[in-house]
Amino acid sequence: MQLTILDRIDRPAEDVVALILRGAHGPLAPWEPGAHVDLALPNWLTRQYSLCGDPRDRERYRIAVRHERLSRGGSDYVHRYLREGRTLEVSLPRNTFRLVPAPSYLFLAGGIGITAIVPMLRAAAGAGVPCSLVYAGRTYASMPFAGELRAAYGDRVTIVATGHDGRPDLAALAAGLAPETVVYCCGPASLLADCEAVFPAERLHVERFRPQPRTFGPDTAFDVACARSGRTVPVPADESLLDALNHAGLPVPAGCREGVCGSCEVTVLEGEPEHRDDVGAAPGRMYACVSRSRSPRLVLDL
Amino acid sequence: MTRQNAPVAERRPRRVSMEQVRERLGEPDAMIKSKIQDHIGEHTRRFIAHSPFLTMATADASGRADCSPRGDYPGFVKVLDEHLLAIPDRPGNRIADSFRNLAENDGIGLLFFVPGSRETLRVNGRAYATDEPDVLARMQTEARTPELAIAVDVEEVYFHCGRALIRSRLWDPAGQALAGELPTLGEMAVAQFGLDVDPRLLEARLEEGYRKLY
Ligand code: FES
C-alpha cells in the first residue's frame, strides 16, 4: 500500500469526479498505460480504478470515478463524502490490460472506460505510432476528458454522443481496419460484446469492470494443499476458494471478488484449475475469488 | 435463609407518574425540541454513511419490545432519499423477531453509532420488510446480496448528546479489559443448556462460525 493525499477533486463531466492523489512520502510507484490501483476508502471498502494521469508524473496519480446509480458504497462514498486533503491508501499499480507493441492502434472507449484508454492514447501518440480513438457516451456532458482529448489529438479522436448520434458504427470500423492494427476496448458490457462480435479476437484486447455473464458447471468441493504453510484446506461447494483460504486464516487479498481486477491472484503448483475469471490468468496462476478446480486437489504456493 | 444481596427494600421500586417525572426533570427546552427534524439532512446523511453499527428497537402489537444490533461496513444503511432508509438483513441467528414485530407494528427506533464519536444519531419512523431488487443490489458485499432489507420511512431524526458515551467511556480502548471479566460464550452456553462438553470446544466452533460473516 502507498499513502497518498487527496490533493484535488475535479469534475470532468456530469456525475464524474477525478481525484488527484499525491504521494505522501515522495514519488509513487511507476506504472504503465492500462494499469489500475485499489483505492482503500474510509468506509473500509476497496475499489479498483484505472490510472488515467500521466505515467511520467511520479508525484501523483489521477483516477476518475462515475457515480453509479446502484452504487454498493464505493462510488457513492467517493462522490458524496471524500474531502480534499484527506490521506488515502492506494495499492501498487497492477496491469491486466497492457499495451502490446503494434504498428497501429484503434482505441474504443465507452463512458468511464475512457480512463484506461487515456494513457494508452498518450503513449501511442507520443511514440509516433498511428492511432485513433472512438469514444462513445450517452451525452457529451457525461463524457469525461472529451474536450481535453479532442484538444490534444484533434481528428484522431471521434466523439460519439449516442443519445444524439446513435451508437458508433463498429462494423464499418472493423471493415476498414488495417490488417496490422490492434484494437483496445474498455467500456460497458454491451460495447465489449459488440466489439467481440466484429473484431478479430487475436487483435482485440478488452477490459471489463463487471464480469461477463456466463454459466459454469455446478460448483464442486475440492481440497487445496498450501505448499509453503503445509496446510490443506477443504473448499466446500458453497464457498469460494478465496473465502475458504481466508476463513482458514490464510489471507489472500481481494478487490472486486468478481474475477475482473486480478488482486486475488495465486500461484498454482499442481492440479488443474477451472478458470472463471475475466482477467485471463497467466499459466500457473489463478484468481481465487471466482475460479475453482477441475482436479480434486490443487497445490498452491501459499 | 437470608439472601446476601437482598435489595435495600424488599419490594418493587415504587412507581412515579409522568407528572412527577416532569416535576423532577423540568420541561425540555425549546432548543432541544427544535433539533428534532423530520428528514435526513446533510449532516445526518454523513453520520449514517460512517456508521458501522446501530441498535434497532421494535415491538409487537401487544407492546412486547425487542432491541437488536445490526452492523457491517460504515454506510451499510443506505439513505435512499431524505425520508427513506434501507437496512440490509445479513445472516444472523435467523430469528425473525424484528420482521415479525414490524409486520404487526411498524414503529421502529434506530440508534446509530460511529466509533470515536460521542454523539449518537436517533432515527424513528415506520418500517417494513422489502426485497426490492434495486435496493438489495446496493447492499451487495463480498459478492453476496442480502435476501431482505428493512425500509424505514423516517419521521424523527436527531443527534443525541454525548454524555452517556462519555460517562461510559465507550470508545476508550482501556475499557475493553471489561470483556475479559465475562464468561466466554462457550461457558455460558454450557451452563445454560447443561451440556456435558468442554466449553473451549464449543468456543472453537463458535469462533469458526464467526469467520464466515456473509
Ligand atoms: S478479487 Fe478481483 S479478480 Fe479476484
Query: What's the CA-to-centroid distance between A80 and ligand 1, angstroms?
Result: 26
Q: Which amino acid is at A287?
A: Y
A-B C-beta contacts closer than 8 Å: 45
B193 and B119, same domain (yes or no): no
B35 and B126, same domain (yes or no): yes
B72 and B146, same domain (yes or no): yes
Please tell me whether residue B56 adopts helix, strand or coil conformation.
strand
What residues in B contact A73, CB-CB < 8 Å? 73, 75-76, 138, 141
Query: What's the CA-to-centroid distance between A87 and ligand 1, angstroms?
Result: 25
What pLDDT is attached to residue A214? 85
What pLDDT is attached to residue B5? 60
Within a domain: residue B113?
yes
Instruction: Compare CB distances from A71 to B52, B76, B138 and report the shortest one's residue.
Output: B138
Put simply, the answer to whether B75 touches A80 (Cβ < 8 Å) is no
CA torsion sign for B56, A68, A122, A20 is: negative
Q: Residue B1 pLDDT more than 50?
A: no
B72 and B129, same domain (yes or no): yes
B92 and B163, same domain (yes or no): yes
Please tell me whether residue B51 adopts helix, strand or coil conformation.
coil
For B170, counting Cβ atoms within 10 Å of its Cβ (0-12 exposed, 13-18 middle, 19+ buried), the class is middle
**Per-residue H/E/C for chain A:** CEEEEEEEEEEEECCEEEEEEEECCCCCCCCCCCEEEEEECCCCCEEEEECCCCCCCCCEEEEEEECCCCCCCHHHHHHHCCCCCCEEEECCCEECCCCCCCCEEEEEEEHHHHHHHHHHHHHHHHCCCCEEEEEEECCHHHCCCHHHHHHHHHHHEEEEEHHHHCCCCHHHHHHCCCCCEEEEEECCHHHHHHHHHHCCHHHEEEECCCCCCCCCCCCCCEEEEECCCCEEEEECCCCCHHHHHHHCCCCCCCCCCCCCCCCCEEEEEECCEECCCCCCCCCCEEECCCCEECCCEEEECC
Put simply, the answer to whether B211 touches A70 (Cβ < 8 Å) is no
pLDDT tens-digit readout, A117-145: 999 999 999 999 999 999 999 999 999 99
Q: Which amino acid is at A192?
A: L
B80 and B159, same domain (yes or no): yes
Mutate which of A45, A240, A243, A260 for ligand 1 pocket (most atoms within 8 A of beta carbon): A260
| Nearest residue to A114 via CA among A136, A94, A132, A96 | A136
Within a domain: residue B143?
yes
Within a domain: residue B16?
no
What residues in B contact A81, CB-CB < 8 Å? 46, 49-50
B205 and B141, same domain (yes or no): no
Percent of the residues in chain B that have a pLDDT greater than 70, as a whole number? 93
Domain count within chain B: 2
Q: What is the mean pLDDT of residues B11-30?
A: 88
Q: What is the mean pLDDT of residues B141-148?
A: 86
Put simply, the answer to whether A45 touches B140 (Cβ < 8 Å) is no
A48, A50, A51, A53: CA torsion to nearest 10 = -140
Indicate the pairing of strand A222-226 with strand A231-235. Answer: antiparallel
Within a domain: residue B81?
yes
What residues in A contact B115, CB-CB < 8 Å? none
Distance of CA A270 to the CA centre of its chain: 28
* Residue B58 belongs to domain with CATH number: 2.30.110.10
Q: Which pTM was predicted?
A: 0.89
Q: What is the mean pLDDT of residues B31-44?
A: 88
Within a domain: residue B8?
no
Q: Is A219 part of the contact surface with chain B (CB cutoff 8 Å)?
A: no
| Nearest residue to A132 via CA among A121, A143, A116, A147 | A121
What pLDDT is attached to residue B3? 53
Within a domain: residue B22?
no
What pLDDT is attached to residue B186? 82
In terms of residues, how long is chain B?
214
Residue nearest to atom 3 of ligand 1 (CA): A259
Q: Regarding predicted confidence, which is higher, B94 or A260?
A: A260
B140 and B200, same domain (yes or no): no
Categorize the per-residue pLDDT at B126 as very low, low, confident or very high, splitting at 50, 70 and 90. very high
Categorize the per-residue pLDDT at B143 as very low, low, confident or very high, splitting at 50, 70 and 90. confident
Put simply, the answer to whether B140 touches A247 (Cβ < 8 Å) is no
What pLDDT is attached to residue B123? 98
Within a domain: residue B178?
no
B74 and B115, same domain (yes or no): yes
B198 and B117, same domain (yes or no): no
Categorize the per-residue pLDDT at B94 as very low, low, confident or very high, splitting at 50, 70 and 90. low
Q: What is the mean pLDDT of residues B201-206?
A: 81
Which residue ranges form the domains of chain A, and what is each CATH number? 2-95 (2.40.30.10), 104-207 (3.40.50.80), 222-300 (3.10.20.30)
Q: What is the mean pLDDT of residues B112-139?
A: 97
What pLDDT is attached to residue A4? 98
CB atoms within 10 A of CB A254: 22
Mean pLDDT by 10 residues, chain A (302 residues): 97 97 97 96 95 97 96 96 97 94 97 97 97 97 96 97 94 94 95 95 91 88 95 94 92 89 93 93 94 96 94
Q: Which three cell numbers stand for residue B10?
A: 424488599
Please give the residue range of the domain that contains residue B146. Answer: 30-167
What residues in B contact A247, CB-CB < 8 Å? 208, 211-212
Taking CA atoms, what residue in A is nearest to B52? A43
Q: Which amino acid is at B132?
A: E
Lowest average pLDDT, out of A84-88, B84-88, B185-189, goes to: B185-189
B127 and B89, same domain (yes or no): yes
What pLDDT is attached to residue A211? 82
Within a domain: residue B173?
no
B48 and B143, same domain (yes or no): yes
